[in-house]
Chains A and B, each alone.
Chain A
Amino acid sequence: QQQVKQSPQSLIVQKGGISIINCAYENTAFDYFPWYQQFPGKGPALLIAIRPDVSEKKEGRFTISFNKSAKQFSLHIMDSQPGDSATYFCAASGGSGNTPLVFGKGTRLSVIA
């Protein structure tokens, strides 16, 4: 129930293309869904986050789509660039201070020119 399932495990996208990463969760108590970007040797950095009161959130080239009934959310990276090549983790939490983030297994994105 605490798991967040993420797919695909790895993704190769042409420069300028759209990268799509999907996550699914079981715990209906989750109410905060962030995406983290991690470069090799670095800590995860928050990219964008959404709460279930909206179905979509866009920040620049990054969009989260959220489907509460299906308990799924996805990250779309428009106009993907080689600099976007990194590992992306979805996560979820119950939103209170004592509820930790539960991470997906990560997606290694490679954007090729």
Chain B
Amino acid sequence: EPEVTQTPSHQVTQMGQEVILRCVPISNHLYFYWYRQILGQKVEFLVSFYNNEISEKSEIFDDQFSVERPDGSNFTLKIRSTKLEDSAMYFCASSMDGIHEAFFGQGTRLTVV
């Protein structure tokens, strides 16, 4: 069964450092998303990406965040200067057409110390 894969599963970084979270969406999907979940809280939307550009972003997705699809398979989330409050589980998701099911990856647990 096709799945969304994310690496690394856990990332520890020092405050102020840059991190890149990686995702390989399902191969025939066209819509890509990043969500985050602070421990014990709800899943929050960060950004959606379609046709090689951001289609929508939340107020959480400020200038320290960026997304990229550097090749035909990877989809990355970069956090330029991490803050303690960026510590969360980050989920990548993809959808074939943006209307039907969004498939989520297993997540990357980011810990900023």
A residues engaging B (CB < 8 A)? 32, 34, 36, 41-46, 49, 89, 91, 95-106
Q: Taking A42-B106, A43-B106, A100-B33 as contacts, is the C-beta distance between A89 and B56 under 8 angstroms?
A: no
Q: Which residue of B lies closest to A108 (CB)?
A: B40
Q: Are A45 and B104 in contact (CB under 8 A)?
A: yes
Q: Are A97 and B31 in contact (CB under 8 A)?
A: yes
Closest A-B pairs by Cβ, 5 of them? A97-B98, A43-B104, A100-B45, A103-B43, A98-B55
Some 7 contacts from A to B, beta carbons below 8 A apart, are A34-B101, A36-B104, A98-B98, A100-B56, A105-B41, A105-B42, A106-B43
Q: Which residue of B lies closest to A104 (CB)?
A: B42
Residue in contact with A99 in the complex, picked from B43, B56, B101, CB distance below 8 Å = B56
* B contacts with A, residue count (CB < 8 A): 28
Q: Are B41 and A96 in contact (CB under 8 A)?
A: no
For B91-105 the 0/1 string (1 means CB < 8 A from A) is: 101010111011111
Contacts of B91 in A (CB 8 A): 43-44
Q: Which of B55, B104, B106 has the most CB of A within 10 A?
A: B104
